[in-house]
Amino acid sequence: MKAKKVRYVWIPVVIALIAVPVGFYYVNWSKGGAGAGLYSRDWLPDAIFAYWNPDDFYESVQSVAGTFKGEECVACHEAVTPGIVKDWRKSRHSQAQKTVYCTDCHGNDHQKLHLPTPEICGGCHTTQHVDFRDEKRYGFPSHSLAMERALDAKHFVDKPKAEVTACLQCHSIATKCDSCHTRHRFNAAEARRPEACITCHSGPPHPDDETYFASAHGQIYLAEGDDWDWSKPLRKGNYKAPTCAYCHMDEGKHQVAEKSIWKFGIREVNPLTSGNEVKRDKWVKLCSDCHEPDWARQKLSEMDAERKRAWRKLYAAEKILKNLRDEKQLHPMAKQRPPYPGDSEHTFMQWERIGFFEGQASAFYNVSPIERDYFEMWYFDNLGAYKGAAHGDPAFVRKGHAAMDAALENIRRNANALRTLDEAEKAAGIRPEAEAFWKQGEYTDYNREHN
Amino acid sequence: MKAKKVRYVWIPVVIALIAVPVGFYYVNWSKGGAGAGLYSRDWLPDAIFAYWNPDDFYESVQSVAGTFKGEECVACHEAVTPGIVKDWRKSRHSQAQKTVYCTDCHGNDHQKLHLPTPEICGGCHTTQHVDFRDEKRYGFPSHSLAMERALDAKHFVDKPKAEVTACLQCHSIATKCDSCHTRHRFNAAEARRPEACITCHSGPPHPDDETYFASAHGQIYLAEGDDWDWSKPLRKGNYKAPTCAYCHMDEGKHQVAEKSIWKFGIREVNPLTSGNEVKRDKWVKLCSDCHEPDWARQKLSEMDAERKRAWRKLYAAEKILKNLRDEKQLHPMAKQRPPYPGDSEHTFMQWERIGFFEGQASAFYNVSPIERDYFEMWYFDNLGAYKGAAHGDPAFVRKGHAAMDAALENIRRNANALRTLDEAEKAAGIRPEAEAFWKQGEYTDYNREHN
Amino acid sequence: MKAKKVRYVWIPVVIALIAVPVGFYYVNWSKGGAGAGLYSRDWLPDAIFAYWNPDDFYESVQSVAGTFKGEECVACHEAVTPGIVKDWRKSRHSQAQKTVYCTDCHGNDHQKLHLPTPEICGGCHTTQHVDFRDEKRYGFPSHSLAMERALDAKHFVDKPKAEVTACLQCHSIATKCDSCHTRHRFNAAEARRPEACITCHSGPPHPDDETYFASAHGQIYLAEGDDWDWSKPLRKGNYKAPTCAYCHMDEGKHQVAEKSIWKFGIREVNPLTSGNEVKRDKWVKLCSDCHEPDWARQKLSEMDAERKRAWRKLYAAEKILKNLRDEKQLHPMAKQRPPYPGDSEHTFMQWERIGFFEGQASAFYNVSPIERDYFEMWYFDNLGAYKGAAHGDPAFVRKGHAAMDAALENIRRNANALRTLDEAEKAAGIRPEAEAFWKQGEYTDYNREHN
């Protein structure tokens, strides 16, 4: 008996020995298309992608031929693009003991020029690059994973390209360094100022711009920041008020994930796990550069309290939607509309995804109106309130919660209306023509053909 | 007969003699709880209140013992908190003939330190403090009453603490001076710049930030303000364009209420009373620092015209709601929902409060959706339009009026829908389950237990 | 036969000979009222118009009499209005070889002073003035036509004056130069900075402010712009990042219309006509001051793609509304509500105007709720998305498209609700009292009487 049992052990081992390499092979194959990422075979890059994901897509201009030395590049570009040459002259690159020339980053063959990737910059700036890559350990959201997670997201393929390209402009933070250190000055001083971050960190789902500048910190920066000495490192005593980088990249560390407790407000977390207590202590230590430790602890507690309230509201809305789903009162239901991004009409268990854990995040499109309302409550109002609490902008907290209150009321009202309407329609024998109406929509089918 | 009548006179006198001290005693008693203000016995302060209302709640850190001289404070804090010591070194406090040390404002016993209240600052800065307190004469809104009116508001106790703490951050303007003159530089130059005000004066109900900066004044400030000499007093000819303080605190007067005509746009006022004409003349005189007096008068008339239009719209909405109330078409009605803040279920005359004079201001919560819509129309759109008119930002006027137009339409639409729904429900014999549904809500009951 | 035919030719010639001068006479007559523009006989100017349209309405103050020399003006105004004298002293006007005095622009008779029009400034600044007037060739929108097109718009007369005055503040760009070059410094450096433009170019229908500052260009300007040398002309290599004027008024040309392809996003255009290809090449050349030409072409293509998507959404909404119109489901219909601006109740073909080509632009007021929803989708969300695409602010593109998605959903939902409601009302024999209800509204009738 014993020997017989042992023999069966081989079955899963053999399956694994086949499945694992097949899996690897499949993933590799799926990444081998003309696009990039897991769905690379399902889309073609727009030409602008060359600038945002240069490693995969940039192709050098062919109008000039020949190989050149650094001095020659400068001599010619002084006339062609004087602005960037001026920037370079002011940079440490041009003033270093051993001058860093155009060729060091772009290559010297003018028909095979490349745009510098983080790896190229990291050739010299090792510490920064190692820190930057280290963010990956903390998962998404993080700068380091911004591009690949965008490309690997199911909705990337099905979403209209005109809207996707807008996303990638910011997600290119993962694939080039000039999102923060702009060409061709590349100085640290620039990246210490909040504007460097805010090019991307603004707008509805992450109003860091609005909330930081509305805070006491931001207002002091706005009034006086132009007079500060930005060549100084981000360290206790060097700045009257903190900027994004002062708090999130203290001591210049190019890794912003290791202090993150609430993870952008995307999902509820327990802020009091032992892991999060370690992060909390790091924050308190940092705030104590200027404030009493007690003050810092209280501010963080306030933030926890804000989050707790926000999730009460979100869960209340979620429950209403889940009840509607049980009662089949969402119109159109999942099967009456184009499939979710990445799914097909024949996907097993094609049902309405409500809330973060069921995949709400990919439900921007093709959902019923009330699901969209909830999505916006979660994605805009909730995340806005979180940022307000995190950055010390009480007006944004109030605005976000007022909007959540209104959205919840509205969802309640519309849920009742849906039920009443259904009863009325049943009584009158009316059947809404939802199916054809929605399935003819432009999403998914349209986009698969045109992306 | 006459003697008999005289004897009756004693009855009200005796009642008054008993009632007045009893009243005083009761108010005193009600203020004697662990919180603060009229409802001090109904809530406990969050620890963060210590920093916003230090006189009532701050308790010194106990980690360091001993009494110290000013020089000793500086010597030690140079290492512990170098930033604030640097700020202090740049301040007039450290450069005065008789140095103003940490101990002068915080005390010298490290286990009994206090945070400076306006009274402490007023010990030296008498004129400013007297002006500041003088605002109280003009009632609320005013800086000087910001904290006590917040704490004495009925809804303060019943509102979720996580949202109340956000309010108090700004209302602490009444209880400490560093809302405008930030630590530990405390200079007048900083407070002359708009950012000092805007830390609080931004966001939906008072978009001073958005409207000032969008005005011609604000744009000139943004483009050129960094080059102005902010050490100069707020006086004719010293600044190319005015800031918040230039107009509202002209000549540096720490009292912004005495020129206020429209009182934040909260209620309709007659702008042409003789009292308001006096204020108007003060404005015209002030604007004439740069503009023709006629121009100033016209701008003020425009503002009156804007207000008049706004109130037409608000009253139209109010009338719709009052009609719905008469028809018992507000769902839920006041008796079907948790009581108003400060009321109980047994409050006499517990009815729907519509409009400012009935107490709309405290009706953020626990109201029917259509009442909430009106509240937001009044509190956000209306107040925003007012600020646009007051600060010379026509886009905000248009935005506010467009939003009011839309809200009014929406209220009309929903009022009709409520009536239609009611008829349909009556015809079908349906009774909405409003009562239990709403009374189980989290507000009031929940908060009373958890605040 | 031939002779007979020739004789008939005289009929249209005679009609034309009568009609053309009559037409001219009528237009002239209609412009001869107390207001200004085509409807000048239907309205009276508010006093503030004197400052915004000085040529038509400004009347000098009468409090001071006499004629003065420039030196005398300065001597007296040094005391009365020291700020503007200081500004003038810093200006090129006061430092020119031949000093430009107050009298050169305002006249010397203090009871007949005028405010300088563009023609007066153009007396010396000829090139700028000629360029500025040249914009007229390109139609509206343009700076040069801003005032007359506003005054000639049908809704100008019927719109409440309190809201019209807000419009004119910005439209006065056509009638005075100090919208960009503020008094009395009037320097070019000021107008090179974005704030000069943004006083007007902000807010819902043209969020140039929000989108430029959120772009990489804007963020670099915000962080570092105060240190740039603004006395330099707007030319390749002089600025690290571009401002509004750098791109739209390159080389200082006072004519921003000749590169405009998409015309503010107001209507769909074919971006690939040969005329637009010429404009596109101008853009690519300009962007190439700093970027690769390929990059520039791609960014412009992205913008085309964004526009194409926007119009799909707008046309989808328009179609729903046109169907509702055919089904007579718009409540109130055009004949049940006050007439469109400029129309009367007896206007021939008084019907619902849906979409740009039917005159949507003048349909702010007196329309049914669902038409208003479409108007806002078109005017706010669509135009916002356009500006986001044009200025490189992807967050605004996403925000605009999310808002359009939501609006389209909402319009769909409400269109169905209108049909259902109609069936229910018919079944129950209910007739909504729309007619009286709406016709008693304040617009049009009210305004005609009170404007």
More confident of the two residues A7 and A323: A323
Instruction: Report the C-alpha dihedral over residues C399, C405, C406, C411, rounded to 10 degrees.
Output: 140
Which one of B32-36, C37-41, C184-188 scores highest in mean pLDDT? C184-188
Question: Structure tokens of B364?
Answer: 């953020």
How many distinct helices (H) and strands (E) make up chain A?
A: 24, 0
- Segment B117-121 shows an average pLDDT of 95
Residues of chain B positioned with their CB less than 8 A from the CB of C193: 223
pLDDT at residue A120 is higher than 50: yes
Question: Structure tokens of C406?
Answer: 């939501």
- Segment B116-140 shows an average pLDDT of 94
Taking an 8 Å cut-off on Cβ atoms, the answer to whether A298 and B376 are in contact is: no
Residues of chain C positioned with their CB less than 8 A from the CB of A187: none
Average pLDDT in chain C: 87
- pLDDT band of residue B5 (cuts 50, 70, 90) is low
* Helix or strand holding residue A195 (H, E): helix A194-198
pLDDT confidence of residue A136: 94
Tell me how far CA of residue C65 lies from CA of A112, C84, C106, C108, C110, in angstroms.
77, 21, 14, 10, 6
Chain B nearest C-alpha distance from C45 (Å): 12
Which member of A48, A372, A430 has the closest CB to residue C298?
A: A48
pLDDT at residue C446 is higher than 50: no
- Residue C209's nearest CA partner among A377, B219, A384, B447 is B219
Sign of torsion, CA C440 C443 C448 C451? positive
pLDDT at residue C64 is higher than 90: yes
Q: Are B290 and B331 contacting, i.e. CB atoms less than 8 angstroms apart?
A: no
More confident of the two residues B446 and B406: B406
Lowest mean pLDDT across A35-44, B160-169, C372-381: B160-169
- pLDDT band of residue B161 (cuts 50, 70, 90) is confident
Strand partners, B109: B67
Number of C-beta neighbours around residue C424 at 10 A: 19
Tens digits of per-residue pLDDT, A315-363? Answer: 999 999 999 999 999 887 887 777 777 777 677 777 888 888 887 665 6
* Helix or strand holding residue C421 (H, E): helix C394-428
Asked if ipTM goes beyond 0.90, one says no
Q: Number of B to C CB contacts under 8 A, please give it.
A: 117
Rounded to whole angstroms, the Cα distance separating C222 from A256 reads 24
* The residue to which tokens 């605004």 are assigned: C396
- Segment C108-125 shows an average pLDDT of 96
Tens digits of per-residue pLDDT, C78-103? Answer: 999 999 999 999 999 999 999 999 99
Residues of chain A positioned with their CB less than 8 A from the CB of C228: none
Closest alpha carbon within chain A to C394: A166
pLDDT confidence of residue B26: 92
- Segment C326-352 shows an average pLDDT of 79
Taking an 8 Å cut-off on Cβ atoms, the answer to whether C48 and B299 are in contact is: yes
Average pLDDT in chain A: 87
Chain B nearest C-alpha distance from A414 (Å): 11
- pLDDT band of residue B433 (cuts 50, 70, 90) is low
Number of C-beta neighbours around residue B341 at 10 A: 22
- Full 3-state SS string of A69-95: CHHHHHHHHHHHCHHHHHHHHHCHHHH
E strands, B120-263, in order: none
pLDDT at residue C34 is higher than 70: yes
Taking an 8 Å cut-off on Cβ atoms, the answer to whether B298 and C163 are in contact is: no
Average pLDDT in chain B: 87
pLDDT at residue C410 is higher than 90: no
More confident of the two residues C288 and C5: C288
Rounded to whole angstroms, the Cα distance separating B202 from C17 reads 62
pLDDT at residue B270 is higher than 70: yes
- Exposure string (b/e) for B158-187, b if CB count within 10 Å is 16 or more? bbbbbbbbbbbbbbbbbbbbbbbbbbbbbb
- pLDDT band of residue B446 (cuts 50, 70, 90) is very low
- Segment B291-313 shows an average pLDDT of 92
Rounded to whole angstroms, the Cα distance separating A45 from A164 reads 11
Chain B nearest C-alpha distance from A429 (Å): 15
Rounded to whole angstroms, the Cα distance separating B174 from A320 reads 43
Q: Give the total residue count for chain A.
A: 451
Rounded to whole angstroms, the Cα distance separating A393 from A399 reads 10
Sign of torsion, CA C195 C199 C200 C203? positive
Q: Are C265 and C401 contacting, i.e. CB atoms less than 8 angstroms apart?
A: no
Lowest mean pLDDT across A310-324, B340-354, B395-409, C399-413: B340-354
pLDDT confidence of residue C448: 46
* The residue to which tokens 């005013």 are assigned: B142
- Segment A162-182 shows an average pLDDT of 89
Closest alpha carbon within chain A to B52: A295
Strand partners, C67: C109
- Segment C390-414 shows an average pLDDT of 89
pLDDT at residue C443 is higher than 50: no
More confident of the two residues A443 and B309: B309
Instruction: Report the C-alpha dihedral over residues C144, C148, C154, C156, rounded to 10 degrees.
Output: 100
Closest alpha carbon within chain A to C240: A83
Lowest mean pLDDT across A128-137, A148-157, A280-289, B275-284: A148-157
- Residue A299's nearest CA partner among B52, B449, B54, B118 is B52
More confident of the two residues A390 and A426: A390
Tens digits of per-residue pLDDT, C234-273? Answer: 999 999 999 999 999 999 999 999 999 998 888 888 998 9
- Segment B287-303 shows an average pLDDT of 93
pLDDT confidence of residue A363: 60
More confident of the two residues C7 and B195: B195
Taking an 8 Å cut-off on Cβ atoms, the answer to whether A301 and B47 are in contact is: yes
Q: Give the total residue count for chain B.
A: 451
Strand partners, A67: A109
pLDDT confidence of residue C361: 61
Residues of chain C positioned with their CB less than 8 A from the CB of B239: 83
More confident of the two residues A335 and C228: C228
Residues of chain C positioned with their CB less than 8 A from the CB of B420: 421, 424-425, 430
Lowest mean pLDDT across A103-117, A122-136, B400-414, C149-163: C149-163
* Percent of residues, chain A, with pLDDT higher than 70: 92
- pLDDT band of residue B443 (cuts 50, 70, 90) is very low
Tens digits of per-residue pLDDT, A205-260? Answer: 889 999 999 999 999 999 999 999 999 999 999 999 999 999 999 999 999 999 99
Chain B nearest C-alpha distance from C344 (Å): 23
pLDDT at residue B447 is higher than 50: no
pLDDT confidence of residue C333: 82
Chain A nearest C-alpha distance from B162 (Å): 5
Rounded to whole angstroms, the Cα distance separating A304 from A295 reads 14
Residue A150: phi and psi, rounded to 5, are -70, -45
Chains touching B (at least 3 CB pairs under 8 A) are A, C
More confident of the two residues C262 and A446: C262
pLDDT confidence of residue B450: 46
Radius of gyration of chain C (CA): 26
Sign of torsion, CA B352 B355 B357 B359? positive
pLDDT confidence of residue B85: 95
* The residue to which tokens 């630590």 are assigned: B183
User: Ramachandran region of residue A139, left (φ > 0), alpha (ψ -120 to 50) or beta?
Assistant: left
pLDDT confidence of residue C291: 93
pLDDT at residue C105 is higher than 80: yes
Residues of chain B positioned with their CB less than 8 A from the CB of A412: 369
- pLDDT band of residue C369 (cuts 50, 70, 90) is confident
- Segment C133-158 shows an average pLDDT of 88
